[in-house]
Amino acid sequence: MQVSVESTGALERKMTVAVPEERVESEIQNRLKRIAKTAKIDGFRPGKIPMSVVKQQYGASVRADVVGEVIQSTYYEALGQEKLQPAGMPNIEPKDIDGANGLEYVATFDVMPEVTPAPFSGVKLESVKAEVMDADIDKMLETLQSQRASWDSVKRKSKDGERLTIDFEGKIDGEAFNGNSGQSVPVTLGGGRMIAGFEEGLVGAKAGDELTLDLTFPEDYAYEEVAGKPVQFAVTVHKVEKPKLPKLDDEFAKSLGIDDGSIDTLRAEVKGNMELELEQRIRATLKEQVLNKIVEANEFEIPAALIDNESQALLQQMQQQMQASPGKSVDLNPEMFADEAKRRVQLGMVIAEIIKQNELKADGDKVRAKIDSIAATYEKPEDVVNYYYGDDKRLKEVESLVLEESVIDWAIEQADVEEVEKSYNDIMMQG
């Protein structure tokens, strides 16, 4: 077998492979002999068919099968011989397959780029320091109160923070549009769930009022067909209700699952949860900085096949999410995800090389700690632990997360980290 390789681009290679006819013909003859033993051809007894007749009857199809298999096997042999690592499937163009001069074909493919991670020493990162203060806990308890509020009807004009039950119908240039109407819809004034101006326009309304709101959809609205367009809503108010907040007492604590029914215990538990969320947010922010710096410092050409594959994977994820949350259908295509796919592939290749060069490991203790931290957020943590340890694929996913976290730790150790102080609210509201 003769192999020659031509570089036709930064990553593209054209590999020409010539296979001696003896290799192809030998396999063809073996198969024809096996066929001759069982073939049924009119005028001949099974096993007594002349080879010339068998070849005439089956030779073309057998050769086609053998050529396909020989191309596949010799392609991988040639890659090994030339020490090439392809990215994605090749485009194979047969040049000579009729047997006159053996078998020859050209395989065109991209090779994996050589990745040499840029040093992380001296890279500037910002690490946030923050504490959960009493005022933060008070605010969280107020949020819990409002979530469990009961509602009392009032006959007066509505105020901010109150709830209205309304019918509405929107029109653009006098025409209806998809999702333009609703009946008996609860709207909390100041809740920020409707487009800008809608809730504000209902402040001061009372039961029985009919209003017209002239508004404009945001330019970045989810549905492009109405984004940025002026819209007129006709609104009928059926009911106005004011919130009645539960008292922050032991009874309230019991309603939230506090076993001893103590408001102090509730406060301590809320604080613990807030501190955990704060720690996770700070870590996530620092991790995002590290990943962004890795991308910025490691620019290299990425095989198109890898980007295409990742784009398809992201497309499938989005389709699954849309199926789980039925709503308006959106036309999706892989090109929409190309930028994110490129970033993911780029990060994956650099991170893999960092792991290799620094011999980072996902040891058992770290994997178990990660699984325990995931399980701690569930009602039955032991079931979650068993879920991961009961399946190798799921366990490998956690090991990958642990390895990625090891890369983040390695990067932080190398970097120049500046610590800045912020409030709990500033951190939790960003992003």
Residue 136, token pair as written in the block? 């933060």
First to last CA, the chain: 58
* Residue ranges covered by each domain of the chain: 2-111, 124-129+274-324+333-429, 150-244
The dotted CATH code for 124-129+274-324+333-429 is 1.10.3120.10
CATH 3.10.50.40 assigned to domain 150-244? The reply is yes
Burial of 290 (0-12, 13-18, 19+ CB in 10 A): buried
Contact predicate 375/382, CB 8 Å:
yes
- Report CA-CA distances (Å) from 305 to 291, 312, 385: 23, 11, 37
* Least confident interval from 182-186, 207-211, 253-257, 281-285: 253-257
Is residue 329 scored above 90 in pLDDT?
Answer: no
Give the residue ranges of DSSP H helices in 83-197.
134-147
Is residue 12 scored above 90 in pLDDT?
Answer: yes
pLDDT band at 229 (very low <50, low <70, confident <90, very high): very high
> Cα(306)–Cα(115) distance, rounded to whole angstroms?
15
Give the residue ranges of DSSP H helices in 298-380.
304-324, 338-357, 364-375
Q: For the chain, give the percent of residues with pLDDT over 70.
A: 97
Contact predicate 233/170, CB 8 Å:
yes
Residue 431's pLDDT is 57
Which strand (E) or helix (H) includes residue 90? strand 86-96
Relative to beta strand 230-244, strand 416-421 is: unpaired
- Tell me what the mean pLDDT of segment 61-72 comes to: 90
> Cα(159)–Cα(156) distance, rounded to whole angstroms?
9
Q: What's the residue count for the chain? A: 431
Is residue 39 scored above 60 in pLDDT?
Answer: yes
Give the residue ranges of DSSP H helices in 216-337.
250-255, 263-297, 304-324
pTM for the structure as a whole: 0.73
Interval 106-145: pLDDT, tens: 999 999 999 999 999 999 999 999 999 999 999 999 999 9
Interval 339-361: pLDDT, tens: 999 999 999 999 999 999 999 99
pLDDT band at 313 (very low <50, low <70, confident <90, very high): very high
- What are the backbone angles phi and psi of residue 171, rounded to the nearest 5°? -140, 140
Residue 44, token pair as written in the block? 């001949």
Burial of 279 (0-12, 13-18, 19+ CB in 10 A): exposed
Residue 238's pLDDT is 97
**Which homologous superfamily is 2-111 in?**
Trigger factor ribosome-binding domain (3.30.70.1050)
